[in-house]
Structure 1
Amino acid sequence: MSYELVYFALVLIAAGVVAGVLAGLFGIGGGAVLVPVFYQAFSAWGLDQAIVMHVSVGTSLAIIVPTSIRSFMTHRQSGVIDMETLKKWIVAVPIGVLIASYIAFIASGEALRAIFAFIAIIVAIRMIFNQPHWRLGKDLPGGIYRWIVGVIVGLLSALMGIGGGVLNNTFMTLYNRSMHQAVATSSGVGVLISIPGLIGYVWAGWSIEGLPPFSTGFVNWPAVLLIIPITLMLAPVGARLAHRLEKRQLEVGFGIFLLLVAIRFFYSLA
């Protein structure tokens, strides 16, 4: 048993190294990088394929909680955050997250992998072929439409184990908001997603057998405690690499990364 725990810890440390560098390199962080890395790590450890994706997503959401809160507090001081949108989403986003938690409770591992892969392909295509003039409107839509978008962002993000930055950034920039404001606002969206997401995935996996050691529901705490400091230390390494590349190269690079992840997940379903 002790050998298995040591091996498990080494696998998680390796996952943290990869996730930290990739998160810093692509400037995304969160589950877009962590979930596929966790999937490989937990699969290498021998976790049942029926729950490996659930644990990967739930653990990723737990890691996003402290990082998103810290990011939100930092961005809030700059005054760039679109607080109006966050106030409109303070109920909408958690509702989407809770729906996602229920889906995780009833869905198979194959279904979660297919969902992640499908959304990853859509995001990847936009990043690879993105054009600055692509717009859906001159400003964010109001009323029920924006509220519904909040539910969708919460739902899809919680199913993927991401903090919402990829989806919210896409939404806001398509409606003529600056990337700077979109990124700042996404820090608040990450708080609205990660906290109820953590609770929801703990609930969804509460009675599941065969979980990794020291897990609460679909959240594995050794992974959380190991990954956070490692990613914080190594993200600057990836960031320094990113400074040597142009913005367009980073977009294409991250798009290709997501495509490879999607192909990996679809291949696992074959």
Structure 2
Amino acid sequence: HVDGEMLRAWAPWIALGSAAGGVLARWVSVELLTIIFAGGAIYIGYRRIFPKNRTTAQDINLTRKRLKIPLGAGTGLFSSLMGLGGGAVGVMVMTLAGRPMHQAIATSAGFGIAVAVPGVIGFMISGWGAPGLPPASFGFVNAAAFAAMATMAAITAPMGARLAHRLNGALLSKMFGLYVFIAAAGLVWDVFHP
């Protein structure tokens, strides 16, 4: 189900946006990012849980230059700043462009490498020498947290892929929407609750 053409077309732009997000992270307020993320997540979740009834599917070619550059770089930038793997934004963009949910999820999973590697490097650079970081930190990247997250992702990703293939697209879309709502609510609570 992976759209290899789109993955190849977007990957360099996602990587560029992700690196920029990592470098810019030092100067962007957590509160502003939370508001942007929560707003975007609420919209994404709402669209997944309550989809518009379309009489004809919009099938927009996302590999055209005028779309792949801003959407790819925007996906990388937003995902990097918000600590996302690229999937949430990628799935939203692809489904709004008329792609089936299963294809959107499979292709967006590939965005993870394009977001992760340049984003990690950018966060290491922008946080180098920042005060108050925990032990084993390289800039804004903590080695222990990175190892724990990478291990859990390696364990759970195959399970998630198998489950996604067993579910129909409408149910999968609603589950994704609910997940995004919960993630947004948790982030808002963590940042704004005293």
Query: TM-score range with shorter-chain normalisation?
Result: 0.7 to 0.9
Shift of 1:246: 6.5
Structure 2 Cα separation of the partners of residues 222 and 139 of structure 1? 42
Identical positions, percent: 37
User: Residue 60 of structure 2 aligns to which amino acid in structure 1?
Assistant: D
State the TM-score, normalized to the length of structure 1. 0.59
Structure 2 Cα separation of the partners of residues 240 and 191 of structure 1? 20
List per-residue Cα deviations over 1:223-251 (Å, max 9, x = no partner): 22233334544667778988997654554
The root-mean-square deviation of aligned C-alpha atoms, in Å, is 3.2
Structure 2: gaps (5+ residues): none
User: What is aligned with 2:82?
Assistant: 160
From the CA coordinates, give the structure whose radius of gyration is larger: 1
In structure 2, relative to structure 1, the CA distance for the partners of 1:171 and 1:135 (3 Å cut) is farther
List per-residue Cα deviations over 1:59-89 (Å, max 9, x = no partner): xxxxxxxxxxxxxxxxxxxxx5333323332
User: What is aligned with 2:120?
Assistant: 198
Task: Give matches, 1:81-120, under 5 Å.
Answer: 81-120=2-41
Asked if 1:269 corresponds to 2:192, the answer is: yes
Structure 2 Cα separation of the partners of residues 161 and 236 of structure 1? 21
Structure 1: gaps (5+ residues): 1-79
In structure 2, relative to structure 1, the CA distance for the partners of 1:216 and 1:151 (3 Å cut) is same
- Range with bigger deviation, 113-122 or 255-264: 255-264
Task: Give matches, 1:107-186, under 5 Å.
Answer: 107-131=28-52, 133=54, 137-141=58-62, 142-186=64-108
Structure 2 Cα separation of the partners of residues 238 and 176 of structure 1? 23
CA contact (8 A) 1:138 1:176 kept: yes
User: Residue 93 of structure 2 aligns to which amino acid in structure 1?
Assistant: F
Shift of 1:104: 0.7
The number of residue pairs the alignment matches comes to 191
Shift of 1:201: 0.8
CA contact (8 A) 1:83 1:185 kept: yes
CA contact (8 A) 1:86 1:185 kept: yes
Structure 2 Cα separation of the partners of residues 167 and 113 of structure 1? 15
Shift of 1:90: 3.7
